[in-house]
Amino acid sequence: MKTKFWKLFSTLAAIALLVTACAPAAPAATPTTAPTAVPPTAETPKFKFALVTPNPRGDRSFIDASIRGADKANAELPVQGTIIEAQGVADQEAAMRSAISAGNDLVLGLAIEPTTLLPLAEEFPNQKFGAPSDIFVDKLPDNVAAFQINVHESSFLAGLVAGSLTKSKTVGAVVGGDAPGLNQFYWAYKQGVLAVCSDCKVVVAYLGFDFSNPTLGKETAVGMFESGADIIFGVAGRSGEGVISAAQEKGLYAIGVDSNQDDIEPGSVIVSVMKRVDTSVYLLVKNALEGNFKSGFSIIGMKEGATGLSWDDGSTTFATKGPADMTAKLPDVMKTVADYKAKILAGTFEVCDALKETAVCAPLK
């Protein structure tokens, strides 16, 4: 009896399986949202790059300028770029490794330490790397391209501005750290001040390489203002925002850096020294995309438009928001700046470059 039952069950199961197999397939579920994939007619970029920053965006200075360069590359070139924001210099190696493992054709390390980048370049010899600004080594591997943006000439021009407008004859600089690349800003700025105000006093405070601490920048600037300075050049990344805040609070003045910071506190920022890492980021991507990746150093400066003053871009914020007694002097100050700029570009005036430390730098240290 059991044998007949199992034979019958097996027969029915086989018929059911056959019927199921021959039945039409159930219709696919309709998605509830539109697909996000690139339409088939669009050309998907094949070249991938990543920009790894040493700290999160939002400094309204160096990091934000680099991100503008990456955004420009994404908008204008057939590339697919991503931005990886490390939470500090100590996290940058892990972020770089993440970018490498993601299959990027080019990995850019902003303000990256040589002790981080060079071992990675050796470990991954087929990976192309880029340094948009300032990596202080004598020689780079064949798979690393770097830009050095010389800012001493534009910083000298900012010093002319400070020396021409100071009332107390004491001006200052709050600098992120005591290093050649940062002193390239400060020493030239001091030279510019003294060129138009030989009896001016120029004071400096270094922040121990803390570039993400506006509170420290503000406290340092407040102390400098209270000691008699009336104009301070902030060269400290996001910490420099504290310098601008202190200037506004004290009714005194700041000079911005890297990006156009004139509008952070309108009327408190006289001018900004531009360091166009947006340009170097864009050029690194464009060159690699077009097969023109060039290992080693490419040096650019004021002559190439890689640095200058925010006034060059048409910024008139201080002219319209600053106090009348200072803005009345601006035409003469701008003429002085233009005259020195012409001499610098013609090669008839030497600006101190802290990266070379020529004789002209000796009195400025």
Which domain, by its residues, includes 172? 152-274+308-364
| Residue 65 is assigned to a structural domain of this protein | yes
The DSSP symbol for 306 reads S
* Residue 46 pLDDT grade (very low, low, confident, very high; cuts 50, 70, 90): confident
Q: Give how many domains the chain has, as a whole number.
A: 2
State whether 75 and 126 are in the same domain.
Answer: yes
State whether 234 and 334 are in the same domain.
Answer: yes
State whether 114 and 188 are in the same domain.
Answer: no
Q: How far apart are the C-alpha atoms of 116 and 90, rounded to whole Å?
A: 9
> 78, 289 in Cβ contact below 8 A?
yes
Q: Strand, coil or helix: what is 255?
A: strand
State whether 196 and 334 are in the same domain.
Answer: yes
Q: How far apart are the C-alpha atoms of 329 and 350, rounded to whole Å?
A: 26
| Residue 1 is assigned to a structural domain of this protein | no
State whether 173 and 120 are in the same domain.
Answer: no
Q: State percent of the chain over pLDDT 90.
A: 82
CATH number of the domain encompassing residue 63: 3.40.50.2300
| Residue 35 is assigned to a structural domain of this protein | no
State whether 242 and 354 are in the same domain.
Answer: yes
pLDDT tens, position by position, 177-205: 999 999 999 999 999 999 999 999 999 99
State whether 65 and 160 are in the same domain.
Answer: no
User: Which residues make Cβ contacts (< 8 Å) with residue 49, sequence separation at least 6?
Assistant: 70, 73, 79, 80, 81, 82, 104, 105, 106, 107, 108, 285, 288
| Residue 29 is assigned to a structural domain of this protein | no
State whether 89 and 186 are in the same domain.
Answer: no
pLDDT tens, position by position, 303-347: 999 999 999 999 999 999 999 999 999 999 999 999 999 999 999
pTM of the model: 0.82
pLDDT at 353 over 70: yes
> 318, 269 in Cβ contact below 8 A?
yes
| Residue 24 is assigned to a structural domain of this protein | no
State whether 187 and 249 are in the same domain.
Answer: yes
Q: How far apart are the C-alpha atoms of 256 and 244, rounded to whole Å?
A: 8
DSSP string covering 192-205, please?
Answer: HHHHH-TT-EEEEE
